[in-house]
Amino acid sequence: MIVGTVREIKNHEYRVGLTPESVHELTAHGHSILVETGAGEGIGAHDALYEKAGAQIVSGAEEIFASADMIVKVKEPQPQERAMLRPGQILYTYLHLAPDPEQARDLIASGATCIAYETVTDVNGGLPLLKPMSQVAGRMSIQAGATALEKAHGGRGVLLGGVPGVLPAKVAVIGGGVVGFNAAQMAAGLGADVTILDRDPQVLERLGTHFEARAKTRFSNRANLAECVADADLVIGAVLIPGAAAPKLVTAAMLGTMKKGAVLVDVAIDQGGCFETSHATTHDEPTYVVDGIVHYCVANMPGAVARTSTYALNNVTLPHTLRIADLGWKDAMRRDPHLLAGLNIWEGQVTYAAVAQALGLPFRPAQDAIG
């Protein structure tokens, strides 16, 4: 199979779909790899490293889209990239389609076979290709929130961990999954006063056992959520419904109950955000203020730590990349129902139920695609 990876063109996106080490694995399996020149510069992987691994360096994305059987990326294809996709071509990347009807429409029109990292599952019901980026984003959310809390950045002027004689900041983490756990771990490590909210009693029990006295847990109902948000200096939105749009848990009205200069970090922004007042921002302009509350809603947070993120991502995406290339996507999915869960669009049809429901589009079961 001819496998191609291109330079990411989303704002301040420095990750790359394939590392030189991944290229070496693919070429060892007999596949031809096309890499756009400069694609790995953001992680310190220069063209010569890719050539040494067996890749052919190509001057532009157009040639790769025209020649490759499978495109391996990191972020969702941008409009000019979607225009180059063709029927039957495999696109393997993060898609986050539920809050993005324009992208969904373009992918449907392309006729490409679109596999989303974020909906591939594992035997435990987890999302293994999303997990490493959730770990990165959860940890980064505290760094970003701590910076936004500084007075020079519009915040309250509060140090997360406080100092002797001065109370630490109060951090509310909404959602106790991978993002929430990693955010709480970082915040607690800095000495903040951390509360984690979740609706699953088993999750709350697990978090309570892990953190003991270093963080508090609360059941996430409307009253508890409103109280924690009003009391917090920093709120982390870490809610995920696989493949679906995130629920709007923090309403615009709640902002009026918060301390002026408090910070909201919406890690769920890739799925539309879990704060009613959220809209996607970029690393160029990461924050904005609504009713005196600082909002940080960068949609590709892990792109800022591109080397860490790229290698963590390739660790989990490469095994499926190899199976798709070795067997073809249909046979690979016949053998692995967890990979089948990643199929979002096939032959102009939406094959992931939560995406179809969110966008009001017809649904075709993914099983139909593999016969």
Residues taking part in catalysis: 96, 270
Collapsed DSSP state (helix, strand, coil) of residue 24: helix
Distance CA 137, CA 371 (A): 37
Enclosing H/E stretch for 293: strand 293-296
Q: Which residues contact 51 (CB under 8 A, 6 or more apart)?
A: 57
Residue 240 · residue 176 · CB < 8 Å? no
| 311 DSSP β-pair partners | none
Distance CA 94, CA 72 (A): 10
For 326, what's the count of Cα atoms within 13 Å in the CB-facing half-sphere? Answer: 14
Pairing type for strands 170-174 and 56-58 reads unpaired
**Residue 74: closest CA among 117, 128, 21:** 117
